[in-house]
Amino acid sequence: MSGLDTKAIVEINQKASQFRSSIVICLDNKIIDAKSILGLSITLLNDQHYRLEIHGLDEAEAKAEMTEVFKKHHLSVTVN
């Protein structure tokens, strides 16, 4: 298990922060706010599958763009 590089964490955080919707990452029994750089940096690993829960006014756009940023960094993700 290796942690993500800083660039990936920053890009995920910056992309999530562009939206008004709530964006959380569900992993095992943890729920991480994607807008929290600290939460991301201590939780995200390269070899995990992530589930994003996105809810709010701009959720359709947020779902599409968050999926793209995860794919860009070769991270496995499901969006609900």
Q: Give the single-character DSSP code of 4.
A: P
Q: Is residue 56 part of a domain?
A: yes
Q: Is residue 25 part of a domain?
A: yes
Q: Give the single-character DSSP code of 45.
A: B
pLDDT in tens, 37-76: 988 887 777 678 899 999 999 999 999 999 999 999 988 9
Per-residue confidence (pLDDT) for residue 41, from 0 to 100 = 82
Q: Is residue 72 part of a domain?
A: yes
Per-residue confidence (pLDDT) for residue 1, from 0 to 100 = 38
Q: Is residue 67 part of a domain?
A: yes
Per-residue confidence (pLDDT) for residue 3, from 0 to 100 = 58
Q: Is residue 1 part of a domain?
A: no
Domain count, the chain: 1
E strands, the chain, where?
Answer: 22-27, 30-33, 49-55, 76-79
Task: Look up the domain containing 25 and give its range.
Answer: 6-79
Is 22 within 8 Å of 55 (Cβ atoms)? yes
